[in-house]
Amino acid sequence: MNKTRGLLFVVSAPSGAGKTSLCRAITDSLEGLTHSISYATRKPRPGETDGRDYYFVSPERFQEMIKAGDFAEWAEVHSNLYGTSRRVLDDMIAKGIDVILDIDTQGAKQIKSKYDTAVFIFIMPPSLDILEERLRNRKSDHEDEIRKRMRRAREEIRDYALYDYIVVNRDFDRALAELRSIVMAERCRTRLADTQWIEKLI
């Protein structure tokens, strides 16, 4: 279906629930959908690459970008700063490219106040016990950090009602299929259609 502007999908979840993996997988499997890369002040984890996973910048550079109004949203999460470029986001949407944002609930609230047609999706873990197990299996965080992430997870889950959809990530392939179904359904909404060709039919 022809549409004049791109869609914005905002995906949030507690750390360890699988949102980043799901966002990468869906952009690999759907045409016209781009995973927006955030800026981050934390150090790269093993296997992460600057410009692919995040744009890794210093806290000083991040603060300069805040002052310049460069971010569509930004938040402090687990003592690190994360943000989404306003210019890149607006350019892609204006070109008709659908964008999926992998951000926390703080950032999602900011996007909700600025982009009234955005679609909000919350990735829910099957249980907090399973979430904690997944965090431990990553072997990338110390015990204190895991406890912080679990406390933060409870806070984020309380914000579920802000979202349009909930996907429970019990099984990755099933969660991916549900996420894909949401994107495909939203792309077919009447309000998004370039209706000139329809008018010619009638």
What is the pLDDT at residue 53? 87
For the cut 80, the answer to whether the pLDDT of residue 63 exceeds it is yes
What is the pLDDT at residue 3? 65
DSSP secondary structure string for all residues of 87-127: HHHHHHHHTT-EEEEE--HHHHHHHHHH-TT-EEEEEE-S-
Question: In the chain, pLDDT over 90 holds for what percent of residues?
Answer: 71
Q: How far apart are CA 72 and CA 50, in angstroms?
A: 20
Residue 121 domain-assigned? yes
| Domain region containing 111 | 8-191
- Report the CATH number that the domain containing residue 168 is assigned in CATH: 3.40.50.300
Residue 196 domain-assigned? no
Residue 47 pLDDT level (bands cut at 50, 70, 90) = confident
Q: What is the pLDDT of residues 163-177, one digit of tens each?
A: 999 999 999 999 999
Rounded to the nearest 5°, which phi and psi values hold at 161?
A: -70, -10
What is the count of structural domains for the chain? 1
Question: In which element (H, E) is residue 180 found?
Answer: helix 172-187
Residue 102 domain-assigned? yes
Residue 75 domain-assigned? yes
Q: What is the pLDDT of residues 74-95, one digit of tens each?
A: 989 878 999 999 999 999 999 9
Residue 61 domain-assigned? yes
Residue 94 domain-assigned? yes
Question: Could you say which DSSP state residue 193 is in?
Answer: B
Burial class (CB in 10 A: 0-12, 13-18, 19+), 143: exposed
Q: Of 183, 194, 201, nearest to 1 (Cα)?
A: 194
For the cut 70, the answer to whether the pLDDT of residue 182 exceeds it is yes
DSSP secondary structure string for all residues of 58-74: -HHHHHHHHHTT-EEEE
Residue 197 domain-assigned? no
Residue 3 domain-assigned? no
Q: How far apart are CA 27 and CA 52, in angstroms?
A: 13
More confident residue, 141 or 62: 62
